Structure 1
Amino acid sequence: MSTSETPFDPRQHRMVAEQRWFEDFVLGERFPLPSRTMTSAIFLAFQAASGDNHPIHYDREFCRAHGLSDMLAHGYQIAIQTAAGAGIFPHLVEDSLKAFLEQSSRFLHPVVLGDTLYPCLEVDELTSNRTTGVVGLRSTVHNQNGVQVLDGRHRYLLRRRVPLAP
Structure 2
Amino acid sequence: MSNFKESQLFANNLVVGQSFEGCPTEIGDDKFKGFAHLTGDNHPIHYNDEYAATSRYGRRLAHGLLIVSMSALGATPMSQRLEDSMVAFLEQSSKFLKPVFVGDTLKSIFEVAEVTEKSDGETAFVRLNIRQINQHDEVVAKGHHCYLLKNSTSEK
> TM class by shorter-chain length?
0.7 to 0.9
Distance 2:72 2:54 in 1: 33
- Structure showing greater relative contact order (alpha-carbon pairs closer than 8 Å, 6 or more residues apart): 2
Q: How far is 1:110 from its partner? A: 0.3
Aligned residues: 149
Q: Quick one: percent identity of the two aligned structures?
A: 38
From 33, 41, 52, the counterpart of 2:41: 52
Call closer, same or farther: CA 1:85–1:46 in 2, change over 3 Å: closer
Which residue in the other structure is 1:140 paired with?
131
Q: How far is 1:82 from its partner? A: 1.0
Which residue in the other structure is 1:153 paired with?
144
Distance 2:103 2:8 in 1: 37
User: Do 2:60 and 2:102's aligned partners in 1 also have CA atoms closer than 8 Å?
Assistant: yes
Distance 2:116 2:61 in 1: 37
TM (norm. structure 2) is 0.81
- RMSD value, Cα: 2.4
Call closer, same or farther: CA 1:142–1:60 in 2, change over 3 Å: same
1:110 aligns with 2:99: yes
5+ long unaligned stretches in structure 2: none
From 55, 60, 70, the counterpart of 1:81: 70
TM (norm. structure 1) is 0.77
**CA offsets, 1:20-58, max 9 Å, x none?**
432221012222222122222222221232221011211
Distance 1:151 1:83 in 2: 12
Q: How far is 1:87 from its partner? A: 3.1
Distance 1:88 1:113 in 2: 22
